[in-house]
Amino acid sequence: MDVRDQGEMSVSVNSLGLLYFEHLRKKSQFEVRNTRGSKRKRDTETEKESEEDLGLWKEQFNEFIDIKTNGPTSIGLDFSLYGFEHVYGIPEHTENLRLKTTSQEEPYRLYNLDVFACKLYSRMSVYGSVPLLLAHKPKQTMGIFWLNASETLVDISMNTESKAALGKTKKLKTDDDPLPRTDVRWMSESGIIDAYVLMGPSAFDVFNQYSKLTGPQALPPLFALGHHQCRYSYKDENDVKQVDAGFDIHDIPYDIIWLDIDHTEGKRYFTWDKTKFPFPREMQEHLRAKDRKLVVISDPHIKVDKKYPFYSEAKSKNYFVRDKDGEEYQGSCWPGMSAYLDFTNPVVRNWYANKHGLDQYEDSTDILFVWNDMNEPTVFDGPELTMHKHAVHAGGWEHRDVHNLYGFYQQWATAEGLIRRSGGIERPFVLTRSFFAGSQRYGAVWTGDNVAEWSYLKISIPMLLNLSITGISFCGADVGGFVQSPEPELLVRWYQAGAYQPFFRNHSHTETKRREPWLFGEENTRIIRETIRERYALLPFWYTLFYMAHTKAEPVIRPLWVEFPEEANTFAVDDEYMIGEALLVHPVTEAGVREVNMFLPGTGELWYHLRTLQRFDGEQTLPVPVSLDSVPVYQRGGTIIPRKTRVRRSTKDMETISYALYIALNSENSATGKLFIDDGHSFNYRSKNQFLLRRFSFKDNTFSAVCADERGQYCTDCLVERVLVMGAARPSCVTAHCPDGPKSPIHFTYDVKKSLLNIESLRFNAGCDWMLKLHY
């Protein structure tokens, strides 16, 4: 099948002739019942032996034997992308942003696995899978979505290479054409061919098309965009309270403290250790009094213990995955011998969701949220530390058919449970380690068990960018590295990177040194404090971006090529990235760095250093001096960023703090921006249209704030207190215009060296229309 756009070839399907589909069958089909001659019987026996040798019905992996009830069931198809040299996506891999060709190496593998301290720059599987590949060239972005949850391999080659890896059997007519072509071959162990070609033509068109298929990014509660503090494990209630107090003593904002598996009674989820956490409800109320939240871990493996009510009830209802012989599938995990809930069954998901109710989850409160870990699923004594492929789910489906969906289904059930807990009013927060296409609908993901080394900090950037452009905007990496103890410089640099990434959590292994941010000396504490406070000041900007991701499928963080699609020098950049369309960030990812080569993209663009407000032209690489307390961040000319004027200890505590608007003018002396406001926690923005979406613009020396969505109606007490205009000429006066009031002169100051206009002491309600006029 060839797809042409205005007469030019865009994509060919099966142009290499690699379509294949192995149908379901029973072994008895190959047992030919022919009683007429012994020769036919001998031929059948030989045929059966040959099949066994090939592993068609039984395959051995180390000491594990995989029984294939339906025989070989693999499928595959090739796609040729014309004019494309740059392809991205198919997370999760510890790889660069731009995918490499696989002609001489292993293909990219999609098979969710628990890989502790995973190898870097590898095509091996890790915790999650999104079978979406994006291709980009100056005039077009397109995508291929291969909807299959079984083990999948992806081969990538260019027409300038040997086609041996793709098994090419014929030369295409276009092979003599100098036009580049990327060939992508998908191979899955089982299932059906269910593929979608997303024609764009822009990157944002592809994001929207993919969102229509798999759903939008959930709008998280505002607190979830704050700073998270986690450790495996905080040992008891007193430890939790001391850590919580430490943030107040050192004036460092945070919103959520996390509890790992040791908070439970013998690794039995939905319970509390009565010795370490004798008064969990009182502990939660202590956090609530400071406008903070608690997250607890809840894994899919359930301890095999007849005295454990959760296990006994699930067993009596046959809610666990079965083995190939129809018995309860059991494997080893943190509690010891465990059974695994069959989340593919909607009845089980419904039951599990209800377990999060305040009437069922003993001593839980409505400030408790959930972390789903180990849900690839991890089986310590299973093949590749996961579930046997011949395990059986509801409806008779083998685990091999649905493996990559297992964690997706648990997060779905958990999110549904938290929504039900509030009667459908409150938005949930659920973090998952394992994920699939569509996981963005239910919460956040993170990159798993990383290591406290500079190389893991560096690789986190392209890993998060590939997640973002494949639908999962709410993503992050463990600050400081989960494994090993970071040196102070690495921890500081990781905080600086994490503060400019969507999900912002410090997490560490039980065998590492404690890592609270005040334990590394006064100077490092100061830098970390300022870094986190900058994150909180920018929360109106972050929250607005998440609303746009939720409603328009626009990634919160983006590779440079998304914003500069016709500039080829951006196509492979993955050490810096955009936050929305407005901020350009270059985290420092190497030790001892005192200068960073900062690429400022865009012919005719203007960029303003976020700290000094100094202006620079685009389309240049700029040597930027950096100290330990600085990281290069630039605001793009033509954008307006909303900020909070002051920072307090939590997001809830900052609700009524006023706004400042940072206007960065472009070469045409104009700029635009948006601000989304609602209650920050409920679904009322959707069910009752209780929200505000404000549009800001600066043009012809006039700033205006107007409604961007007439559906929204919400009362806010927040004021806009300050407007700062970068790149403006000095006006003779500034006047304010309100719909119901007269013009009034406004006091301002002007910095000649920075071309900076600062208008303060404003008192405009953030939900009202108003204007500022600059007179010359």
Sign of dihedral through CA atoms 220, 222, 224, 227? positive
**Is there a catalytic annotation at residue 248?**
no
Note whether 447 and 501 are within 8 A (CB). Answer: no
Tell me the pairing of strands 733-737 and 744-746.
Answer: antiparallel
Burial 142-163 (b: 16+ CB within 10 A, else e): bbbbbbbbbbbbbbbbbbeeeb
- Residue 222 sits at φ, ψ, to 5 deg, of -60, -35
Q: Which stretch of DSSP H or E encloses residue 490?
A: helix 488-498
Note whether 333 and 376 are within 8 A (CB). Answer: no
Sign of dihedral through CA atoms 694, 699, 704, 710? negative
Strand partners, 368: 294
384 contacts: CB under 8 Å, gap ≥ 6: 61, 111, 113
Q: What's at 639, amino acid-wise?
A: T
- The Cα-based distances of 224 to 262, 284, 416, 645, 652 in angstroms read 23, 17, 17, 20, 11
Considering the candidates 449, 576, 678, 721, report the single residue annotated as catalytic: 449
Considering the candidates 373, 416, 567, 576, report the single residue annotated as catalytic: 373
Distance from chain centroid for Cα 397: 29
Strand partners, 293: 256
Note whether 723 and 661 are within 8 A (CB). Answer: yes
Please state, in angstroms and rounded to a whole number, the distance separating the CA atoms of residues 44 and 31. 7
**Is there a catalytic annotation at residue 376?**
yes
Tell me the pairing of strands 444-446 and 430-432.
Answer: parallel
Q: What's at 121, amino acid-wise?
A: Y
Please state, in angstroms and rounded to a whole number, the distance separating the CA atoms of residues 462 and 532. 22
Q: What is the DSSP string of 308-357?
A: -HHHHHHHHTT-B-B-TTSSBPEEEETTEEEEEB-TTSHHHHHHHHHTTS
- The Cα-based distances of 313 to 304, 317, 318, 319, 341 in angstroms read 12, 6, 9, 9, 12
Give the closest residue to 405 by CA, choosing from 717, 169, 152, 700. 152
**Is there a catalytic annotation at residue 373?**
yes
Please give the structure tokens belonging to residue 109.
């593998």
Per-residue HEC secondary structure of 199-220 comes to: CCCCHHHHHHHHHHHHCCCCCC
Considering the candidates 78, 376, 563, 678, report the single residue annotated as catalytic: 376
Note whether 259 and 240 are within 8 A (CB). Answer: yes
Dmax over Cα atoms in the chain, in whole Å?
108
User: Count of alpha carbons within 13 Å of 690, Cβ hemisphere only?
Assistant: 12
Give the closest residue to 20 by CA, choosing from 171, 198, 186. 186
160 contacts: CB under 8 Å, gap ≥ 6: 180
Q: What is the DSSP string of 150-198?
A: S-EEEEEEETTS--GGGT--S--GGGGSSS-EEEEEEEESSS---EEEE
Please give the structure tokens belonging to residue 92.
């999760």
Q: What's at 31, amino acid-wise?
A: E
Give the closest residue to 550 by CA, choosing from 219, 224, 220, 221. 219
Residue bearing tokens 């077009």:
140
Give the closest residue to 741 by CA, choosing from 768, 774, 709. 768
The residues annotated as belonging to the active site are 373, 376, 449
